[in-house]
Amino acid sequence: EIGRERVVSPLSREFQGPVEQRGELRTTAIRIMYKDIRESLGLDMLMRPKKVHPNTFQEKDGLLAHHQESGLLWQRRGAGFPLNWQQAHEYVEKLNSDGWQGRDTWRLPTTEELSTVLEPVGSAGGGSGMFYPRVHWLWSCDSCTKKQAWMADIAENFIERLAKDGTASVCAVSSQKTG
């Protein structure tokens, strides 16, 4: 639900540790404070993942790719142009109301899910080339403050915060299992 956030801190009972320490990725939006993001996602000082997930993408068609490691279905192109954070949420709502690709389970990815498409330092960019070349920054559903949300730079392979009125690409995900 847009505008509703849950605060997670490494000291809270809800905190589940770095991505590499559990099998399933969080799928719901939360607020992650800047002081907590490195520990919660296992990021280095440059906000890059310390552990890189295998990029086991299988192209479904020109518009979709299935990430076999996480089970997520990703849009490859997304909206096709940058949107602010509110517009990104509205775009995903429209995908669901239209039943895009026969699904109504589209959503913005969490920061944990975004970290699964980042590649090792020095590589060509996130997602093993599964995203369209114009996709550079990707919004997450997670916020940092009332005015900032988290995004991933899939070209440079790091997580960062961006003003919600700034623009980034939107590639929705669906965690519904695919055949």
Q: What's the pLDDT at 138? A: 96
What are the φ/ψ torsions at residue 113 (nearest 5 degrees)? Answer: -65, -40
Residue 26's contacts (CB-CB under 8 Å, 6 or more residues apart) are 16, 110, 112, 113
Sheet bearing 64-67, strands edge to edge: 57-59, 64-67, 72-75, 173-174
Model pTM score: 0.81
Determine contact, residues 85/149, Cβ cutoff 8 Å: yes
Q: pLDDT, tens digit, for every residue of 59-104?
A: 888 899 998 888 899 999 999 899 999 999 999 999 999 999 999 9
Give the H/E segment covering residue 174.
strand 173-174
Q: What's the pLDDT at 52? A: 73
First-to-last C-alpha distance (Å) of the chain: 28
Q: pLDDT, tens digit, for every residue of 20-68?
A: 434 688 999 999 999 999 999 989 999 988 877 767 788 888 899 998 8
Select from 44, 43, 47 the least CA-distant residue to 19.
Answer: 43
Q: Is the pLDDT of residue 9 over 50?
A: no
